[in-house]
Amino acid sequence: MKKYIFKRVMISIATLLVIIFVLFLLMDLMPGTPFNDEKLTEAQIALLYQKYGLDKPLVVRFLLYLKNMLTGDLGVSYAINKNFAISDMIKGRLGISLAVGAMAMIFGTIMGLVLGILAALNHNTWIDNLCSIISVIGVSVPSYVCALLLCYYVAYKLKLLPILYNQTMPFKSLILPSLALSVSPTANIARFTRSEMIDVLNSDYILLVQSKGVKNYKMIIKHALRNTLIPIITVMGPLLVNLLTGSSVIERIFGIPGIGLLMISGIQQNDYNVTIACSFIYSVMYIVVMLFVDILYGVIDPRIRVSKEG
């Protein structure tokens, strides 16, 4: 198992390197300059290119970037916060985005599991239908509409929580954004839990467990849930990463200084370094989550471990 994990980690690092290179290539293809074209002359733009080393060939820039990255230097911003070190820009923002994403994931997983299990245990009854309708509404109403509704009723009308993100009470002011963001994972997880659970409950080993007289709730937790979790973990991984970057709209609505918004501005304003750095963080998270999921498979389902090691 150790050898397998080591190998997986090394491969993940190689994958990351490829991703950075592809990002570099893509940035190179992006038309336009990060500088204000309206008021600069061509000679000035050439000077700026020289100043930031953008006139060097792609491979040279790539290697330089890698070298700097190892020392924690992600370059400076060209357009968003001119001449700011990107590592500083990201430092403050990453924590907040992670917090929102993680809170949303916790809300989503709990609510999703509860809805899914309830629906599966009451298969083909009104409870099942109600749970289905809730989860369908969850996926068909965009998160920003949910966000605004929550804002309007919970924060503005009832005054239970702050409307906008507030540095002095971060936890309290992040509840609404996380709730708004958790709507879609809730729905996704509920749907998967339900269908997996129905499969599992219909399987022979559950019948065996039942006939052995194991109590219902114990059976659900110990036997059914464990087998249901495998595919759910598969969807949870990518869902988490999507949350972290897909949160840009939520960040905008609640005025949260997060990384999602930064990436969007980076793309729109051609701020290469910001785009690459944000995408890179996204990729790291994605690869780590995937790695985690793969290893977790082995822990949860012994059969996969055996076949992988063999």
- Give residues 39-78 in contact with another protein (rule: CB under 8 A): 39-42, 44-45, 47-48, 51
181 binds another protein (CB under 8 A): no
Inter-helix orientation angle 2-29/58-70, to 10°: 130
Question: Please, what is the minimum distance in Å from the beta carbon of residue 308 to another protein?
Answer: 8
Token representation of residue 54: 């953008």
3-class SS letters over 4-68: HHHHHHHHHHHHHHHHHHHHHHHHHHCCCCCCCCCCCCHHHHHHHHHHCCCCCCHHHHHHHHHHH
Chain positions 229 to 268 lying near another protein, rule: CB under 8 A, are 230-231, 234-235, 237-238, 245, 249, 252-258, 261-264, 267-268
Pick the piece of the chain touching another protein (CB under 8 A) from 55-63, 65-73, 210-218, 297-305. 297-305
**Stretch (H or E) spanning 84:** none
Query: Can you tell me which residue has the tokens 């949303």?
Result: 104
Closer of 33 and 56 to another protein (Cβ):
33
- Amino acid at the residue 230: I
Pick the piece of the chain touching another protein (CB under 8 A) from 54-62, 64-72, 212-220, 228-236. 228-236
Question: Please, what is the minimum distance in Å from the beta carbon of residue 60 to another protein?
Answer: 22
Contacts of 260 (CB under 8 A, 6+ apart): 97, 244, 245, 246, 247, 248, 249, 250, 251
Inter-helix orientation angle 2-29/272-300, to 10°: 160
171 binds another protein (CB under 8 A): yes
Kindly tell me which residue out of 1, 64, 66, 145 binds another protein, with binding defined by CB under 8 A: 145
Question: Please, what is the minimum distance in Å from the beta carbon of residue 13 to another protein?
Answer: 12
- For residues 12 and 293, what is the distance between their CA atoms, to the nearest angstrom? 13
Kindly tell me which residue out of 139, 154, 214, 295 binds another protein, with binding defined by CB under 8 A: 139
Question: Please, what is the minimum distance in Å from the beta carbon of residue 278 to another protein?
Answer: 8
182 binds another protein (CB under 8 A): no
Question: Please, what is the minimum distance in Å from the beta carbon of residue 45 to another protein?
Answer: 8
Closer of 182 and 188 to another protein (Cβ):
188
Size of the site for another protein (CB under 8 A): 112
137 binds another protein (CB under 8 A): yes
Question: Please, what is the minimum distance in Å from the beta carbon of residue 35 to another protein?
Answer: 8
The contact pattern for another protein, residues 187-216, with x = CB under 8 A and - = no contact, is -x--xx--x---x--x--------------
Chain positions 102 to 131 lying near another protein, rule: CB under 8 A, are 102-103, 106, 129
Pick the piece of the chain touching another protein (CB under 8 A) from 57-65, 66-74, 210-218, 300-308. 300-308
- For residues 123 and 309, what is the distance between their CA atoms, to the nearest angstrom? 38
User: Angle at CA 239, nearest 5°, toward 235 and 244?
Assistant: 160
- For residues 88 and 81, what is the distance between their CA atoms, to the nearest angstrom? 11
- For residues 138 and 302, what is the distance between their CA atoms, to the nearest angstrom? 34
